């Protein structure tokens, strides 16, 4: 009945067949401005010729049954927009789960396009492109036909904004962000305030991990408050930052405009699930099922949302629910496959991703991950204690002798602190190429992180994946293992700021030089109001506003955790993790455990931090939006460095000591202590130089050259055992320096620590030194001195097999022949 009434209304509208072309432009301008009610009124008064456009507006408003009627009018009247109506009906059928009907309509339109495209208008070309997009769910190559049709529309009418917008979306859906960005920018050249183009650029920025994604989506809503896609994207951004109230508000805003938006219901459902609102989740799911009896997209959205919150078990469950409804859901297959890989189920993950890639061969995430899995077949798997290490053979030989005992100690320490024991073995994958680690983590090269934890599965860069001295791989491993405990004890529900903050704090707890330390840049940013308060700290991780904010957020979060432990005790940290495990939100956790609101925590932390760094803050100027820093401390350091360059060491020393008093905690690059140590060393004051250099080495985890200097100073002062300590620190920064390991072996032998001497000689050999025979001979000597006669004899015989005339090896073998074996029997070899 509704369809008949609408057909009669359109058919009897005066002038229905003679609407001037500018009416369409006026209506589309109203739609672009978000004035959907007025646009609908004008379209209803436009007769049959505007039936398809009316249908589009009705879809925007969620009036799907009326939209069906309008599109049928356009089809039955053979109106100008008949093909657009056909494409729209195909899209609606697909949204409702009527896949066969959608494909049938799309095939009809695509076939007509292939036969008679020369007779198509620009809008008809767009309609054909929409049909090919639908067919692409079954035949991936149809995406190329879709692009050709959209391009034809632009060639037919360069002002066709809709075609350019769809080109941008098609490129982005096929993981081509540069071309997508170019297409959206072309729209903005014609219409600088086009909301859909701004929304497209926001999606591009999000895809590329740029910090302007949030600003762009807000800009799109400023131009069109009724743009449902923008509200949905903003809801997703809030959800990723764990701002559940804001996410729910945006999803509801979208539904207030279009109550038939599956995407909005899905986001509302995901938010409710993560917030623990079971009633709202049930309501969202019921609404999704009314729209589509088999709402695979709803469950795929949920799966994607929970995996971003590190709830991997839930992600697997919801992805499987989606696939039970639609086995061809690439999104669900992707979530399931990657989550299986993150859980250590490599065979199952590979099989799932192969299915996803067969359906969507454009997906770079899946292709890169499958390529990496092929490469990993050449990795070595080594089980040591409670850990399973997976690494390229050379890395396994070089790193595991140090890494395995370190992580065993870390496991015991963390289990005691957090009162939790994770399942074992904990799997740690080590990658000698950063691009491989990045692919393992997010599917694409370019990730800035050094390591990642998926709970009982960890992955990290090998030191060789970065420049020499770029990071401390020991503290990185300890950091990632801490996540295994904090995520596990919280049921993977700990907010990002808490889990990351505790990992950085545990680095510092493990060793004084490990973990992030306070810097000029951090304090300047804090004084400038550029560091998020505790109540919004997650935003600094997932939606950074400027370069460097994420790094600042890691350190800031560790200080928040340090304050909580200092004021409330470690038991409060454990109680918080357990409260999150029980499904409580942050405001409730703070109230129950810390007796504070999030806003009170903001004030409390601000006071604590300003007291902690009160001396330094007096000499640091707040940084501006560009991050430039200044103040008395910076000026004094620069002045001291200039004096030193002008050969004025006494004046430089006086100025640098004054700078050091202003900021005594500073130990990073450019610290006064580095220059003061050099001044003292050049004057022959070795103890003065040592006193200064330890200010750096004991508080900066990547101070490679400073540690080498400390070792030299200690050895010259006769402190052989002390010289070994900074050398051992350097091996956690760059473990591939054969000279450092050989020097450690020599020093260890001098003080009678034969176990260390042997270990270091083995490491030298594992690093494939230039003179491998000499390295093996030195190992044999170390074994002999350690009393391992049999081991020494084995190694020296290997040397002589390769070089029978090696005199020192011959001499050592003679000595070993007369040495008693463990059972005091002479060897008759």
Q: What is the pLDDT of residue 49?
A: 87
How far lies 67's CA from each of 89, 256, 429, 814, in Å? 9, 18, 53, 97
Q: CA nearest 226: which of 40, 383, 392, 70?
A: 40
Q: CA nearest 741: which of 730, 752, 750, 751?
A: 730
**Is 440's pLDDT higher than 80?**
no
State mean pLDDT over 131-136.
94
Count of other CB atoms within 10 angstroms of residue 458: 24
State mean pLDDT over 95-109.
95
Q: What is the pLDDT of residue 3?
A: 40
Q: What is the pLDDT of residue 363?
A: 85
**Is 509's pLDDT higher than 50?**
yes
Residues whose CB is less than 8 angstroms from the CB of residue 203 and which lie 6 or more positions away in sequence, other chains included: 172, 180, 213, 233
Q: Do domains 648-727 and 737-829 have the same CATH topology?
A: yes
Model pLDDT for residues 675-686, shown as the tens digit of each residue: 999 999 999 999
Count of other CB atoms within 10 angstroms of residue 516: 21
Rounded to the nearest 10°, the torsion over CA 78, 84, 87, 91 is -120
Q: What is the pLDDT of residue 647?
A: 95
Q: What is the pLDDT of residue 22?
A: 80
Q: What is the pLDDT of residue 511?
A: 95
Distance CA 272, CA 251 (A): 11
Phi, then psi, of 631 in degrees rounded to 5: 110, 175
Confidence tier at 777 by pLDDT (50, 70, 90):
very high
Q: What is the pLDDT of residue 365?
A: 84
What sign for the dihedral angle of Cα 708, 714, 718, 719? negative
Cβ–Cβ < 8 Å for 558, 508:
yes
Q: What is the pLDDT of residue 792?
A: 94
**Is 521's pLDDT higher than 80?**
yes
State mean pLDDT over 235-243.
93
State mean pLDDT over 330-348.
92
Angle between helices 99-116 and 82-95 (to 10 degrees): 150
Least confident of 331-335, 500-504, 822-826: 822-826
Region 737-829: CATH code: 1.25.40.10
Q: What is the pLDDT of residue 821?
A: 57
Q: What is the pLDDT of residue 446?
A: 44
The three-state secondary structure class of 528 is coil
Question: Does the predicted model carry a pTM greater than 0.75?
Answer: yes
Distance CA 393, CA 382 (A): 10
State mean pLDDT over 433-455.
68
State the CATH architecture for 648-727: Alpha Horseshoe (1.25)
**Is 481's pLDDT higher than 70?**
yes
Q: Where are the domains of the chain?
A: 395-434+461-617, 648-727, 737-829
**Is 157's pLDDT higher than 60?**
yes
Across the chain, how many H-helices and E-strands are there?
44, 5
**Is 20's pLDDT higher than 70?**
no
- Which H/E stretch holds residue 451? strand 451-453
| 3-state SS record for 41-79 | HHHHCCCHHHHHHHHHHHHHCCCHHHHHHHHHHHHHCCC
Give the number of C-alpha atoms closer than 13 A to the C-alpha of residue 716, restricted to the C-beta side: 13
Task: Say which residue, 317 or 449, is predicted with more confidence.
Answer: 317
Least confident of 14-28, 201-215, 399-413, 487-501: 14-28
Percent of the chain exceeding pLDDT 70 equals 94
Model pLDDT for residues 304-316, shown as the tens digit of each residue: 999 999 899 999 9
Distance CA 304, CA 349 (A): 16
Confidence tier at 13 by pLDDT (50, 70, 90):
very low
State mean pLDDT over 663-672.
91
**Is 743's pLDDT higher than 70?**
yes
Rg (CA), the chain: 33
Phi, then psi, of 383 in degrees rounded to 5: -95, 120
Q: What is the pLDDT of residue 46?
A: 86
> Mean of the per-residue pLDDT values for the chain?
91
Q: What is the pLDDT of residue 362?
A: 87
**Alpha-helical segments (H) within 241-277:** 244-257, 262-275
Q: What is the pLDDT of residue 817?
A: 87
Distance CA 584, CA 493 (A): 9
Confidence tier at 384 by pLDDT (50, 70, 90):
very high
How far lies 571's CA from each of 373, 509, 568, in Å? 41, 16, 7
**Is 664's pLDDT higher than 80?**
yes
Q: What is the pLDDT of residue 825?
A: 41
């Amino acid at each position: 009945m509704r369809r008949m009434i609408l057909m009669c209304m359109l058919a009897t509208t005066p002038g229905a067949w003679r609407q001037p072309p500018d009416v369409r432009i006026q209506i589309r301008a109203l739609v672009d401005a978000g004035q959907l009610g007025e646009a609908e009124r004008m379209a209803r008064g436009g007769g049959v010729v505007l039936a398809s456009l009316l249908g589009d507006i009705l879809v925007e408003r969620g009036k799907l049954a009326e939209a069906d009627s309008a599109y049928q009018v356009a089809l039955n009247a053979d109106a100008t927009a008949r093909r657009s109506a056909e494409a729209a009906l195909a899209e609606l059928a697909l949204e409702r789960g009527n896949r066969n009907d959608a494909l049938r309509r799309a095939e009809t339109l695509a076939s007509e396009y292939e036969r008679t495209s020369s007779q198509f208008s620009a809008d008809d070309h767009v309609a054909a492109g929409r049909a090919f997009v639908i067919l692409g769910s079954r035949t991936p190559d149809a995406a190329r036909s879709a692009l050709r049709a959209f391009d034809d529309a632009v060639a037919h009418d360069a002002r066709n904004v809709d075609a350019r917008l769809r080109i941008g979306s098609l490129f982005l859906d096929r993981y081509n962000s540069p071309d997508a960005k170019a297409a959206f920018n072309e729209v903005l050249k014609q219409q600088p305030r086009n909301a859909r183009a701004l929304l497209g650029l926001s999606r591009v920025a999000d895809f590329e991990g740029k910090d302007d994604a949030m600003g762009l989506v807000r800009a799109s809503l400023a131009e069109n408050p009724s743009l449902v896609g923008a509200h949905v994207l903003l809801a997703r951004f809030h959800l990723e930052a764990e701002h559940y109230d804001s996410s729910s508000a945006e999803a509801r805003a979208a539904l207030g405009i279009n109550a038939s938006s599956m995407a909005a219901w899905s986001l509302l459902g995901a938010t409710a699930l993560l917030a623990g609102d079971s009633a709202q989740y049930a309501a969202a799911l019921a609404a999704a099922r009314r729209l589509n009896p088999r709402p695979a997209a709803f469950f795929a959205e949920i799966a994607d949302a929970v995996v971003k919150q590190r709830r991997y078990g839930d992600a697997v469950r919801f992805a499987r629910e989606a696939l039970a409804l639609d086995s061809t859901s690439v999104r669900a297959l992707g979530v399931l496959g990657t989550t299986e890989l993150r859980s250590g189920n490599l065979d199952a993950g590979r099989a799932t991703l192969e299915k996803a890639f067969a359906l969507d061969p454009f997906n770079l995430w899946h292709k890169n991950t499958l390529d990496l899995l092929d490469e990993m077949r050449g990795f070595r798997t080594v089980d040591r204690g409670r850990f399973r290490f997976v690494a390229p053979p050379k890395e396994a030989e070089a790193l595991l002798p140090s890494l395995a005992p370190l992580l065993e100690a870390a496991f015991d320490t963390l289990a005691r602190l957090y009162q939790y024991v994770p399942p074992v073995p904990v799997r740690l994958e080590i990658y000698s190429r950063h691009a491989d680690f990045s692919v393992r983590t997010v599917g694409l090269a370019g990730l800035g992180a050094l390591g990642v934890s998926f709970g009982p599965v960890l992955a990290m860069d090998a030191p060789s994946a970065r420049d020499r001295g770029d990071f401390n791989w020991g503290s990185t491993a300890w950091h990632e293992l801490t996540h295994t405990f904090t995520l596990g004890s919280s049921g993977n529900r700990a907010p990002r700021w808490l889990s990351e903050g505790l990992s950085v704090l545990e680095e510092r707890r493990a060793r004084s030089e490990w973990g992030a330390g306070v810097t000029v840049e951090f304090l300047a940013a804090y004084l400038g109001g550029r560091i998020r308060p505790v109540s919004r700290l997650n935003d600094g991780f997932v939606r950074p506003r400027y370069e460097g904010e994420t790094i600042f957020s890691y350190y800031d979060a560790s200080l928040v955790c340090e304050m909580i432990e200092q004021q409330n005790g470690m038991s409060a940290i454990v109680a918080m993790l357990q409260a999150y495990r029980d499904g409580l939100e942050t405001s409730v956790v703070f109230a129950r455990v810390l007796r504070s609101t999030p806003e009170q925590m903001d004030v409390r932390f601000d006071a604590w931090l300003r007291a902690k760094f009160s001396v330094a803050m007096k000499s640091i100027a707040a940084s501006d939006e560009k991050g430039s820093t200044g103040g008395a401390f910076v000026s004094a350091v620069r002045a001291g460095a200039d004096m030193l360059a002008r050969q004025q060491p006494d004046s430089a020393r006086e100025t640098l000591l004054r700078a050091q008093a202003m900021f005594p905690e500073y130990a990073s690059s450019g610290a006064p202590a580095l220059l003061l140590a050099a001044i003292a060393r050049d004057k022959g004051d070795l103890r003065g130089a040592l006193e200064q250099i330890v200010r750096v080495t004991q508080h900066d985890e990547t101070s490679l050259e400073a540690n080498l200097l400390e070792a030299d100073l200690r050895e010259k002062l006769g402190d052989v055992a002390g010289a070994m300590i900074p050398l051992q620190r350097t091996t956690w920064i760059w473990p591939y320096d054969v000279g450092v390991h050989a020097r450690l072996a020599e020093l260890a032998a001098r003080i009678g620590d034969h176990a260390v001497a042997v270990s270091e000689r083995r490491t030298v050999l594992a690093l494939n030194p230039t003179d491998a025979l000499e390295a093996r001979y030195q190992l044999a000597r170390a074994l002999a001195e350690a009393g391992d006669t049999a081991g020494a004899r084995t190694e020296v015989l290997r040397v002589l097999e390769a070089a029978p005339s090696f005199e020192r090896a011959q001499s050592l073998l003679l000595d070993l022949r007369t040495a008693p074996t463990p059972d005091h029997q002479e060897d008759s070899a």
